[in-house]
Structure 1
């Protein structure tokens, strides 16, 4: 079985991502507005099939009020390097109000986090701007083996991803879903 790689092809996402990748490769100052907008668009595209919205109708004496609420039983854990990704994640709580952030440094090999709550209750999103090192494999191993996480409840989101890392993940965890804009 092959890895489920979803390339986000929306023109707005592609344009914003290109600007961010270009600025990063040329060591230019990042436009924080572009990163915030890109974050909202990426998370919307990635999670639109995962989110469940309930319609609620409130009947009053002379009017009917309609409201939309996210399923309050769904909880989301976003595992990311908050220091590097804070601009992209700045407005994600608008899409995922029941989300929690967990910091992890993907550059450090010995930095697997210890989360006290039961991880099986969460839908897990691993977000890395530029997926370029193999530490992600250690994190997936930790989640799958130590916490018995169902990998169907895990999504990996990144702007760019390294093809060698994707091949390695595909060999080990073909059931994972990875959302990326560009494969390098």
Structure 2
């Protein structure tokens, strides 16, 4: 079974990703918008919205709420990715962003007690070094979560890292705009 690599090909996502990869964005709005769009495309099958209708005497009111039972843990290096993650809570209200430097996988143990409750998203802007492997190894080695409940999201990813992940963890899902 091969690694599940999903390349996001929506034209708006591709245009914004191109700006961030090859040009210096003029403002942080491009990165925030790209972040929302990438997370939406990646998580749209995970997201559940409940519609509630309230019947009044002379009107009908409709409200939409995200499923309160779903919780998301976003593991990322906030220092590198804060612009992209700026608006994530708008689409994932039950999300928690945790800063972890990928070469320090033991930092995941700080959240070990709660991780079974969460759907885990590992986000790295440019997946270009093997530090992310430390996090995946730690999650797998300590049986913290089922790796089928983990998604990796990045703007770009390195082909060699994908090969390495595919050999060890073919069940993972990786979402990216470009493979370099």
Q: Same fold per TM (> 0.5)?
A: yes
Aligned in 2, Cα 1:111/1:90: closer, same or farther, shift over 3 Å?
Answer: same
Residue segments in structure 1 that go unaligned for 5+ positions in a row? none
Q: CA deviation at 1:89?
A: 0.4
| Match in the other structure for 2:125 | 129
Does the 8 A contact of 1:104 with 1:112 survive in 2? no
Q: State whether structure 2 residue 106 is matched by structure 1 residue 112.
A: yes
| Match in the other structure for 2:3 | 3
Paired residue total: 178
The aligned runs of 1:1-184 (5 Å cut-off) are 1-23=1-23, 28=24, 31-106=27-102, 109-113=103-107, 114-184=110-180
TM-score by length of 1: 0.92
**Cα distance in 2, alignment partners of residues 182 and 95 from structure 1:** 23
Secondary structure at the aligned position of 1:94 is classed as: helix
The CA deviation string for residues 89-113 of structure 1, in whole angstroms up to 9 with x for no partner, is 000000000000110123xx23531
**Cα distance in 2, alignment partners of residues 147 and 74 from structure 1:** 20
The CA deviation string for residues 13-42 of structure 1, in whole angstroms up to 9 with x for no partner, is 10110111113xxxx466311101100110
The CA deviation string for residues 63-96 of structure 1, in whole angstroms up to 9 with x for no partner, is 2111111110000000001111111000000000
Does the 8 A contact of 1:120 with 1:147 survive in 2? no
**Cα distance in 2, alignment partners of residues 11 and 31 from structure 1:** 20
